[in-house]
């Protein structure tokens, strides 16, 4: 039976678990610290394309500000950080991300089982004051089209502070990468995580058939065990259990230090061409892309901004090991931006396309008259025709149109790609595993930029 998802097509070609751990083990250890379950299976698939794996690893530590957030230096407490991660995945409708982020454990915040139930709001006494401010932010940022208002942003900043809002922007942007990426991939849930997902997702009406991904045979037994463990952990008389949870959390954090050092060293080698300070970073982007990019204009964290520039460089500018031209990637970005109905992204995409067309024309021009026409050439290019074709129900006749259809359907709630039936068309035109994974990586990059642009705005 032919594959119906990109994950089914890519899984047989992925490198071994040992090879992935040897290359990205430190980053995966940081990821496991955050989400409680190793994402090695996802990393195996992502490593098929530099466009997918390097931005993911490069943005991971910076966007979560590890170990600052893990140690509690963020103005957001563990509870509200959990809401941001799980809430964005639930709002998007991504079972894989929801299940994994629900298992997130924080230092000194109790066992990971306890944390998973808190994150999923399965405990009656779990609510904290001002939860609604976090919920409102998540819902408005993750809606399609985006609906963040200045009032919601101001209410969040007035209570939690401006730095907390900046941290939330970084977290939701990274989760945008993961939510859209994993949704495009169509990766299934692991059996050991399915019971937690079932607990959290079953009461919710997500736009995705979650139950098909669950382990139905013994799921209830696991759920009963999980509930018992949570009750035991929360029992005030069970002092030893709570103390042991604290000890293991602290020990896990100490054991993570070598991984943080290795990740920092790796980042330094990756980021060496990207300036540290935001003003220099802005100029670097203009020089690289030929235009100003606004999606993270109001972000003030230099470390995160540098990581985002790295993602842009790997996703858009690297021409080796890619099946798409730079101009084609920018056009796909426009298709996504139009699907999201996001004015900031649409303007950024238009600027990138115009600059790329101008650069190509200038490189080939032999006289000034040719050069003078480059700006109007970009304006006349009918990007909306590409969007119209991508939105149509007709089968594509070439690889780019097939990819554009998938990108168009990715610009929406979780499950759109699976329901659209566009994956088989892509697989018929795009056969190289690295090229298939590149599509997934680009969709993740677009999702990250979407979330960040919304957080940096408000209406």
pLDDT at position 100: 73
Q: How far is CA 197 from the centre of its chain?
A: 19
pLDDT at position 104: 55
What is residue 18's three-state secondary structure?
helix
Q: Hey, what are 64's tokens?
A: 């979560």
Residue 84 near residue 74, CB atoms below 8 Å: no
pLDDT at position 76: 80
Query: Under 8 Å CB-to-CB from 326, ≥6 apart: which residues?
Result: 316, 317, 319, 356
Query: Under 8 Å CB-to-CB from 62, ≥6 apart: which residues?
Result: 170, 267, 303, 304, 306, 307
Using the Cα atoms of residue 202, residue 42, residue 82 and residue 145 in order, give the sign of their dihedral: negative
Q: Hey, what are 144's tokens?
A: 């399609």
What are phi and psi for residue 23, nearest 5 degrees?
Answer: -85, -40
What are phi and psi for residue 45, nearest 5 degrees?
Answer: -70, -45
The secondary element (H helix, E strand) that includes residue 451 is helix 433-455
Residue showing tokens 């290359």: 23
Residue 61 near residue 69, CB atoms below 8 Å: no
- Beta strand segments in 272-365, E: none
Q: How many CB atoms lie within 10 A of CB 272?
A: 7
Nearest 10 degrees: Cα torsion 360, 294, 452, 358: -10
pLDDT at position 87: 82
pLDDT at position 229: 46
Buried-state track 131-167, b at ≥16 Cβ within 10 A, e below 16: eebbebbbbbbbebebebeeebbebbbeebeeebbbb
Q: How many CB atoms lie within 10 A of CB 191?
A: 14
Using the Cα atoms of residue 114, residue 117, residue 122 and residue 125 in order, give the sign of their dihedral: positive
Q: Hey, what are 155's tokens?
A: 């209410």
pLDDT at position 56: 86
Q: Please compute, for residue 79, the number of CA atoms within 13 A of its CA located in the half-sphere on the CB side.
A: 14
pLDDT at position 82: 74
Task: Give the residue ranges of the chain where pLDDT is below 50.
Answer: 105-125, 204-237, 366-376, 378, 380
Q: How far apart are CA 64 and CA 174, in angstroms?
A: 8
Q: How many CB atoms lie within 10 A of CB 459?
A: 12
End-to-end CA distance of the chain: 48
pLDDT at position 194: 63
Q: How far apart are CA 197 and CA 209, in angstroms?
A: 12
Nearest residue to 160 (alpha-carbon basis) of 84, 86, 67: 84
Q: How far apart are CA 410 and CA 415, in angstroms?
A: 8
Q: How far is CA 22 from the centre of its chain?
A: 23
Residue 200 near residue 123, CB atoms below 8 Å: no
What is residue 217's three-state secondary structure?
coil
Residue 145 near residue 95, CB atoms below 8 Å: no
Model confidence over 228-271: pLDDT tens digits?
Answer: 444 444 444 456 655 665 676 677 778 888 988 898 888 889 88
Model confidence over 127-149: pLDDT tens digits?
Answer: 567 888 998 999 899 988 888 99
Q: What is the pTM of this model?
A: 0.84
Query: Under 8 Å CB-to-CB from 33, ≥6 apart: which residues?
Result: 66, 70, 105, 252, 253, 256
Q: Say whether the peptide bond before residue 145 is cis (omega within 30 degrees of 0).
A: yes
Query: Under 8 Å CB-to-CB from 257, ≥6 apart: which residues?
Result: none
Residue showing tokens 């960040």: 452
421 to 92, 184, 403, 436: CA distances (angstroms): 19, 12, 12, 16
């Amino acid at each position: 039976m032919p594959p119906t998802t990109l994950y089914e097509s890519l899984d047989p070609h992925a490198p071994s678990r040992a090879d992935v751990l040897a290359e990205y083990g430190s980053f995966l250890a940081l990821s496991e610290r955050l989400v409680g379950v190793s994402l090695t299976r996802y990393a195996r698939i992502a490593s098929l394309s530099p466009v997918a794996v390097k931005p993911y690893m490069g943005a991971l530590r910076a966007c979560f500000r590890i170990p600052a957030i893990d140690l509690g230096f963020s103005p957001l407490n563990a509870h509200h950080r959990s809401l941001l991660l799980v809430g964005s995945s639930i709002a998007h409708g991504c079972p894989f991300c929801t299940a994994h982020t629900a298992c997130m454990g924080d230092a000194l915040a109790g066992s990971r089982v306890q944390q998973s139930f808190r994150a999923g709001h399965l405990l009656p006494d779990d609510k904290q004051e001002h939860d609604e401010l976090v919920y409102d932010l998540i819902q408005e940022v993750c809606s399609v089209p985006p609906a963040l208002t200045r009032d919601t942003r101001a209410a969040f900043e007035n209570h939690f502070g401006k730095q907390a809002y900046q941290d939330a922007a970084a977290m939701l942007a990274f989760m945008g990468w993961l939510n859209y990426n994993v949704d495009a991939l169509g990766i299934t849930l692991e059996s050991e995580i399915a019971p937690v997902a079932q607990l959290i997702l079953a009461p919710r009406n997500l736009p995705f058939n979650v139950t098909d991904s669950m382990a139905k045979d013994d799921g209830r037994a696991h759920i009963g065990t999980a509930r018992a463990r949570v009750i035991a952990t929360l029992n005030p008389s069970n002092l030893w259990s709570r103390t042991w949870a604290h000890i293991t959390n602290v020990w896990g954090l100490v054991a993570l230090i070598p991984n943080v050092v290795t990740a920092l060293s790796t980042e330094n080698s990756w980021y060496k061409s990207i300036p540290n300070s935001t003003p220099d970073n802005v100029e670097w982007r203009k020089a690289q892309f030929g235009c100003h990019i606004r999606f993270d204009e109001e972000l003030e964290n230099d470390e995160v901004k540098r990581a985002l520039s790295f993602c842009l460089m790997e996703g858009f500018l690297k021409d080796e090991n890619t099946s798409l031209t730079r101009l084609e990637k920018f056009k796909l970005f426009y298709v996504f931006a139009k699907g999201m109905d996001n004015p900031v992204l649409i303007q950024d995409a238009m600027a990138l396309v115009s600059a790329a067309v101008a650069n190509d024309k200038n490189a080939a021009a032999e006289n000034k008259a040719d050069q003078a026409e480059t700006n109007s050439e970009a304006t006349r290019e009918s990007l909306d025709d590409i969007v119209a074709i991508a939105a149509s129900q007709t089968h594509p006749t070439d690889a780019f149109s097939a990819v554009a259809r998938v990108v168009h359907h990715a610009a929406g709630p979780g499950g759109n790609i699976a329901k659209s039936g566009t994956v088989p068309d892509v697989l018929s035109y795009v056969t190289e595993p690295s090229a298939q994974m590149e599509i997934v990586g680009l969709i993740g990059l677009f999702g990250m930029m979407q979330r960040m642009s919304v957080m940096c705005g408000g209406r």
